Structure formats: structure tokens, C-alpha cells
Amino acid sequence: MIPTRYIACDLGAESGRVMLGTLENGKLSLEELHRFPNGPIGVPGFMHWDVVRMFDEVKAGIRKVAGRGKPVAGISCDSWGVDYVLLQGAGPFLTPPFHYRDPRTDGGLERAFSVVPAEEIFAETGIQFMSINTLYQLLADLRDRPDVLGAAERFLTIGDYFNSLLSGVAKAEESLASTTQLFNPLRKAWSTTLIGKFGLPARIFPEVVPSGTVLGLLLPDLSEQTGLHDASIVAGCSHDTGAAVAAVPSEGKGWAYLSSGTWSLLGVERTVPIINNASRGFNFTNELGFGGSVRFLKNIAGLWIIQECRRSWLKDGKEYSYDDLMGMAGEAAPLKAFIDPMDPGFTRPDDMPRSIADFCRSTNQPVPGTPGGIVRCVLESLALVYRRTMDQLEEVTGEKLNTIHIVGGGSKNRLLNRLTANATGRTVQAGPIECTAIGNILIQAIALGHLSSLEAARGIVRRSFPMERYEPAGKMLWEDAWNRFRQFTQSSPTKTIS
């Protein structure tokens, strides 16, 4: 088999990578050729994304691939969800796009519900309620920047925006469009009902295309700038979780996936959306995946909490690597105190360790006194949230779920993997780490006719990448922990939406 090469541009909230994938003899190999830091840029009172710098980094990565002198079949960009760029004419954007943690959407849920009831929004979109969702960001534009929104001719989510920069074709790929809470997953189209009722300009919403749509070739000007020629630009799964789930090395039934990173996205794969009172009450979401599949899942605050702790300690002159923190957490006393990672107090704290201490005091728990104790508290709490979510998934779907496939960067966190198996009482299969890039590449291979199906792609994942297995232990200790955890989280405002 002649090697076939693909470029995955994986844009994350903390970093971006340009990955080269080579498909040969039924196996996939990956190589990271370019990595760059990412994060919000700020002016007083606002948080934005520097998409110009990000695109320069993407081009730098493509240039490194071209320097190998080997043909490349395809390129595809994926990103986080909810954020977007407003466009007019041939310009790069009207204003720099907002970061989803910008405070402009505070109170957005309540304002939206005063116009359209929550039940109607969920029935139309099947998407969980978070104030960061695209819907509430656009409503903030409508309130605060009507001139900018009025001047916009096009709206593109981040991954689709980068694919359009590469191809010159501005389309919305359905896995990313489905995260906006303005998309109907049954009709696979923008919700004209909600767009109309909220008074949003219908003209800005682009044509929606299925996952795995070939948009065209890399623009000639970019070919000259990068030295790469004749590569197709593919709208694969432009949403990073959609790409990651496509590469979950699953077989049979009874499994869930956990895409572990800055966010934890825990759910199951289905063929049709689950839109009913139970799924709304537990605040689940229905996002589209490759091949018309549905990612029925919940967004959970993930390793972001530890990232913010590390940032706070660094400000105090204490620099810890992630390996340092995991080592200290592994030696810390277990099951002493818990937080609810979904509590609003952990959304945008000035000082995350202090917020954790405040939560423990307010719930009459011992306050972790060391960085290792704090990290252990966070990891154990995440594992218990995973248990709660797995139990809810079983209740809503009626299916027994015995295995959790943990993929993404968080899958290399052996301590969290072990805690997840123990807390949930389920087998954990961890890996691959680079599942988003793998899914991005394999969807390109299917779109370009080099692979036959998603099943064939998942078979390649199983043959190409190692996994680690964790079995649950300490049942009685974790049952006690679960009962204590529920006392602190049973009134969590994110548990139900009424």
C-alpha cells in the first residue's frame, strides 16, 4: 500500500497542533510537527481569541510538512465549540472573536428564557444549557453590539472559519453547528424558529454540510506561501470532540466515551437524538457526529480546574509541572474532601485554590492544605462526577454501560484513570492520547475515498495505538465517598434545568 498523508490542524483552548498522519498497510502513524500555545488575549473587561496569530501558526505547521517534500492528500481543521467569527466581505473578520469565558454572557440564560422558555429551546435543539453557548453569545451581540451584528454578512464557528481560510469556501460543518444551540439535530438544519423568535439575522447563518465534506483545494496563494500543493481541504468533524469520538477504539455495545482535557465530555453514541424531559432534566446534550451519529453527552468542567490552580501557584512564584502535581496528588491522603466541579464558583475564579478552599469550608469539610491535597481533591471529585453522569446516562438510555473509553490528553493521567475506574465501578480503557487528530485524519481518509467506513477507521485505531486497562477497586471506600459527595452536590444548579 502506498503511504497516504494527511494534515490535522487541531486547535485547542490551551494549545494548537499541526499533526502529520500517514496511513500505510492498515495502520496509522502520527507525528507532531508544530505546536503553539493558545489562550485568551485581554483588554480591560474583555477576552478575545487572536485568530490572526493562530492562522500564522497553522501556516507555519503546513510549511513544515511541505518541507518534507512528500505529497499530502488532505488538510482539515477542528476546534472547540461555541465561539465564532463575524465576517463582512473579503476582510478577515469584523472584530476579534470573543472567548467563551468572557463575562458578557453572564445572566444570558435567564434573559433568553424570558423570550423563549427553556423547554422550547431544548425541544428544538436538544442542547444542554450553558451560558457560554453560541446562542447566548449572539444574544449578547444583539444587546451590546447591534451595529457589529447588523454589519455582519456571515457567521462561522472557529474550526469552520479556519477551513474557510484554507479553502475559500465558507460552510458550516454539522458536528460544530450542532453545538451552537441554534441547530435542529432532527432536521439537520439551522433552527429558523429560534433564529426568528430571538430576532437574530437569518442571513448570517451559512449552508450546513455533513461531516466529511470536501470543500476544495488549498488556495493557490497559500500553496505559494507554504510550498504545499494539491491538498484537499476537508470539513471533517470540525468540532474536536466529534473528531475524537470518531476515533474511539470501541467494539460492540455497553460503552461510553470520555474525552478528557480542559473539558471532560462524557457520553454515548446514538443514531437519533434523545430529547425528552429526562435528558433535559439532567442537562444532557445532543450533538451530531460523523456519519449522522449523535453524541449524547454532558460537558463537565475538566482539567481546567487544575490548569487554573497551576496558574495561581505560578503567580505566587511556585512553579509545578503537571507531573509534579500528579506525583504529589498520588501521595496525598485519599477521599478527604470533595468539590462539585460544576459549581458556578469554579467557572471564572480569580484564585482557584482559594475557591476550592472556600467550597470546602462552606460544606464543613477539611480544607486541603497542600498543592498535592488540592489536586487530589479535584481529581477525586471529577471521578465522582463521572459516576453521577454514568448513572444518569444509564437511566436515560436504559442501557447498561460497563466500559468507559477515556481518550484525549487527559487519558495519559494514570491517577485520574484509576480514580475513574474506582469511583464509577466500571472498566476504563485509556487511549489513544491524540484521539482528536486521529479522528480528524481518518475522517479525511473516508471523505477522500481511502477508507470505506467508520468501522474500518476504528479498526485501524485499535491496530495502531496502545491502550491501558483499569479495573475498579476499593468498592466500600468509594461507596462511602459517593454518599458524602452527594450531600455537597445534590442541590447543584447544573444538575437540572426547570
Q: How many CB atoms lie within 10 A of CB 319?
A: 9
SS3 annotation, 411-426: HHCHHHHHHHHHHHCC
Interval 42-67 mean pLDDT: 95
pLDDT over 60 (residue 493): no
248's grid cell: 474511539
pLDDT of residue 491: 42
Number of H helices, E strands in the chain: 19, 21
Element (H, E) at 436: helix 435-447
How far apart, in whole angstroms, are the C-alpha atoms of residue 309 and residue 305? 6
**Class of 4-240 per CATH?**
alpha beta
Confidence band, pLDDT 50/70/90 cuts, at residue 345: confident
pLDDT of residue 104: 95
Beta carbons of 255 and 404 less than 8 angstroms apart: yes
48's grid cell: 478575545
Q: Which residues pair with 75 in a beta bridge?
A: 7, 233
SS3 annotation, 375-404: HHHHHHHHHHHHHHHHHHHHHHHCCCCCEE
pLDDT over 80 (residue 492): no
How far apart, in whole angstroms, are the C-alpha atoms of residue 205 and residue 160? 12
Beta carbons of 127 and 186 less than 8 angstroms apart: no
Confidence band, pLDDT 50/70/90 cuts, at residue 497: very low
Q: Which residues pair with 468 in a beta bridge?
A: 430
Tell me whether the CATH fold assigned to 4-240 matches the one assigned to 250-431+467-498: yes
How far apart, in whole angstroms, are the C-alpha atoms of residue 146 and residue 442? 41
Catalytic residue of the set 78, 83, 141, 240 = 240
SS3 label, residue 338:
coil
pLDDT, one tens digit per residue, over 107-156 is 999 999 999 999 999 999 999 999 999 999 999 999 999 999 999 999 99
What is the architecture of the domain spanning 250-431+467-498? Answer: 2-Layer Sandwich (3.30)
SS3 label, residue 108:
helix
337's grid cell: 474532601
pLDDT of residue 488: 81
How far apart, in whole angstroms, are the C-alpha atoms of residue 439 and residue 441? 5
Helices within 87-186 (DSSP H only): 108-113, 118-125, 134-144, 146-151, 158-167, 174-177
Beta carbons of 264 and 258 less than 8 angstroms apart: yes
Could you tell me which of 19, 20, 58 has the C-alpha nearest to residue 38?
58
Pick the residue with more confidence: 281 or 44?
281
Beta carbons of 134 and 111 less than 8 angstroms apart: no
Beta carbons of 247 and 460 less than 8 angstroms apart: no
Residue 240 a catalytic site member: yes
Percentage of residues in the chain having pLDDT higher than 70:
98
Write out the DSSP string of 305-331.
HHHHHHHHHHHTT----HHHHHHHHHH
Q: Are strands 263-270 and 41-43 parallel, antiparallel or unpaired?
A: unpaired
Element (H, E) at 350: none
pLDDT of residue 490: 57
pLDDT of residue 42: 82
Confidence band, pLDDT 50/70/90 cuts, at residue 190: very high
pLDDT, one tens digit per residue, over 401-456 is 999 999 999 999 999 999 999 999 999 999 999 999 999 999 999 999 999 999 99
Q: Are strands 255-260 and 403-407 parallel, antiparallel or unpaired?
A: parallel
pLDDT over 50 (residue 103): yes
Percentage of residues in the chain having pLDDT higher than 90:
92
Q: Give, as one character, the DSSP assignment of residue 480.
A: H
pLDDT of residue 323: 96
How far apart, in whole angstroms, are the C-alpha atoms of residue 295 and residue 298? 9
Domain residue limits, the chain: 4-240, 250-431+467-498
CA angle centred on 324, ends 307 and 265, rounded to 5°: 40
Could you tell me which of 462, 283, 241, 279 has the C-alpha nearest to residue 385?
283
pLDDT over 70 (residue 494): no
Q: Which residues pair with 190 in a beta bridge?
A: 183
Rg (CA), the chain: 22
**Residue labelled with grid coordinates 480544607:** 367
220's grid cell: 493557490
pLDDT over 90 (residue 232): yes
